[in-house]
């Protein structure tokens, strides 16, 4: 098999092996690692129909992670996708109200981030061994709610690692916050930042890119890496479930080999929908990739106009994991549609950091024909939850509801009846208040865990262990910091 090497979107690094890219997380020039050549699926999708999730994962991940041996990769996959998922299917597909919902929330933290963050610690520790890395790996992560807990669960007490998670103070759901601040593990640190997610993400990137901090870290025996979707080790496992979805719908007889399949993704940092785009590039016959935004509709506006403009009010919504104005992973797409021209990409990223916006060329716009976009405001999101429950007795979380509403509108406006998979990115148990009050206003005065029990009764779905575990769990992480204090928090935790 041909070796796939990686390069930075900002041009400073190329010829980087997959294991090295995973260890680094972010390239030293501030860019994101992308494959120098896009591999092609070397097995027929019809041959994957009926295969287990683990088998499909190997066929996809071996294409991108070519310096991992078959034994190492299969070890990582088998240990990631095991009994910590509450279904043997790992990612079951449910047909409800005219769409196929790909349930990506059956892992230990009941959000889609588990799909990649269950395997990233194995990929990373294997990479460290392969590259004879003796330094302790410090995972530095910003979260809008879900990545944080999934990363903490993945890396807690993993030898040779430490993890520091920053989340926006007051900017995550009560359940998301409780999941993070009760995390056990001597190598874990969780800190609320007085700012929004973009502030957290910018702060983390600034620390990553500070050469002085990096030198101090190296001297103390540490090296940074990331569990955010800027890490290619996060992105590659996400490609798997789109390949699996197509194979599974072939197996169910919904599709015939070669039929198109539309994908709808509730989108914040752009990693999840980018993974669908990569699945299409490697040979899965996906149709339209429909990008669904909430009120923070910076991506919707970009796809409509070709202008990415973060100069707008940041809104807190009932779908907090999408409350993002700087979608980091979009840089990978911009680089590609710029003809892999690092100089053009750098100019746009510089404009984004200085002026808060950039505009792509007409030629670049033409290369976005795979994408469609829509958005749902708070009222539309709540109504969609109520509508799908009424029509199909199926309960969506707030993020999936955004995607469901956008898909419903897309179908109405386009007349496109191509089968569609909607990425269902979180369990409704993570957002019980918003979900239950959308179904019936009578629930609005109930306390959080009473709402959990009411949701269980209404849905007939057992309360996930992730929720039961935090009912009485002790709060272990109480630190709150200013944006400018993030670096000193990191150094303090590392004893520097």
DSSP per residue, 73-96: HHHHHHHHSSTTSSSTTSS-EEEE
Is-contact 185 98, C-beta < 8 A? no
Please state, in angstroms and rounded to a whole number, the distance separating the CA atoms of residues 218 and 14: 23
CA atoms within 13 A on the CB side of 195: 20
Stated as kind and residue range, the H or E segment containing 373 is strand 371-375
Is-contact 175 461, C-beta < 8 A? no
| Nearest-5° Cα angle at 398, 165 to 102 | 90
Query: In 3D, which of 308, 311, 315 has the Cα closest to residue 294?
Result: 315
Contacts of 167 (CB under 8 A, 6+ apart): 142, 143, 144, 145, 148, 176, 177, 180, 190, 191, 192, 193, 197, 200
Residue 386: Cβ-neighbour burial (10 angstroms; 0-12, 13-18, 19+): middle
Stated as kind and residue range, the H or E segment containing 290 is strand 286-293
Is-contact 77 58, C-beta < 8 A? yes
**β-strands 6-8, 33-35: how paired?**
antiparallel
Please state, in angstroms and rounded to a whole number, the distance separating the CA atoms of residues 208 and 225: 8
Q: At what angle do helices 120-130 and 70-80 cross, to 10 degrees?
A: 150
Please state, in angstroms and rounded to a whole number, the distance separating the CA atoms of residues 403 and 290: 8
CA atoms within 13 A on the CB side of 380: 18
Is-contact 165 191, C-beta < 8 A? yes
Please state, in angstroms and rounded to a whole number, the distance separating the CA atoms of residues 318 and 385: 12
Distance from chain centroid for Cα 108: 15
Catalytic residue from among 62, 113, 189, 205? 113
Please state, in angstroms and rounded to a whole number, the distance separating the CA atoms of residues 161 and 157: 8
Is-contact 316 172, C-beta < 8 A? no
Please state, in angstroms and rounded to a whole number, the distance separating the CA atoms of residues 429 and 109: 11
What backbone torsions phi and psi does residue 110 show, to the nearest 5 degrees? 50, 40
Is 113 marked active-site? yes
Q: At what angle do helices 271-281 and 330-337 cross, to 10 degrees?
A: 40
Active site residues: 113
């Amino acid at each position: 098999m041909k070796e796939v090497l990686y390069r930075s979107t900002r041009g400073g690094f190329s010829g980087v092996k997959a294991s090295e890219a995973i260890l680094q997380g972010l390239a030293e020039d501030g860019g994101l690692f992308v494959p120098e050549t896009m591999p092609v699926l070397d097995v027929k999708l019809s041959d994957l129909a009926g295969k287990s999730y683990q088998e499909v994962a190997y066929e996809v991940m071996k294409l991108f992670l070519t310096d991992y041996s078959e034994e190492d990769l299969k070890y990582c996959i088998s240990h990631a996708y095991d009994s910590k998922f509450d279904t043997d299917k790992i990612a079951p597909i449910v047909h409800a109200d005219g769409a196929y919902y790909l349930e990506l929330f059956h892992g230990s933290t009941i959000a889609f981030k588990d799909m990649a963050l269950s395997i990233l610690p194995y990929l990373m520790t294997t990479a460290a061994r392969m590259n004879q890395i003796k330094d302790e790996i410090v995972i530095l992560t910003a979260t809008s709610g879900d990545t944080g807990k999934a990363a903490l669960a993945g890396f807690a007490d993993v030898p040779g690692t430490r993890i520091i998670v920053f989340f926006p103070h007051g900017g995550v759901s009560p359940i998301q916050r409780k999941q993070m601040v009760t995390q056990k593990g001597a190598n874990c640190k969780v800190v609320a930042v007085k700012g929004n997610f973009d502030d957290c993400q910018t702060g983390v990137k600034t620390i990553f890119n500070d050469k002085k901090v990096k030198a101090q870290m190296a001297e103390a025996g540490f090296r940074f890496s990331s569990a955010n979707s800027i890490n290619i080790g996060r992105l590659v496992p996400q490609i798997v479930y789109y390949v699996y979805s197509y194979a599974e719908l072939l197996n169910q007889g919904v599709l015939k080999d070669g039929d198109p399949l539309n994908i709808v993704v509730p989108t914040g940092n752009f990693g999840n929908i980018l993974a669908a785009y990569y699945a299409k590039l490697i040979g899965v016959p996906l149709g339209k990739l429909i990008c669904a935004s909430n009120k923070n509709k910076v991506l919707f506006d970009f796809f409509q106009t070709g202008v990415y403009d973060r100069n707008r009010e940041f809104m807190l919504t009932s779908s907090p994991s999408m409350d993002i104005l700087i979608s980091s992973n979009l840089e990978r797409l911009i680089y590609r549609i710029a003809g892999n021209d690092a100089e053009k990409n750098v100019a746009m990223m510089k404009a984004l950091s200085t002026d808060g916006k950039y505009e792509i060329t007409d030629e670049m716009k033409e290369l976005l024909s795979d994408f469609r976009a829509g958005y749902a405001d708070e009222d539309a999101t709540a109504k969609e939850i109520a509508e799908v429950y009424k029509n199909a007795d199926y309960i969506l979380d707030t993020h999936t509801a955004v995607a469901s509403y956008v898909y419903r509108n897309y179908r109405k406006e386009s007349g496109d009846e191509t089968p569609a998979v909607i990425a269902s990115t979180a369990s409704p148990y993570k957002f019980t208040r918003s979900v239950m009050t959308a179904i019936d206003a009578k629930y609005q005065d109930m306390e959080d865990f009473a709402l959990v029990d009411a949701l269980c009764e209404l849905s007939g779905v057992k309360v996930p262990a992730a929720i039961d575990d935090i009912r009485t769990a002790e709060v272990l992480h109480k630190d709150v910091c200013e944006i400018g204090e993030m670096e000193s928090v990191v150094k303090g935790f590392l004893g520097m």
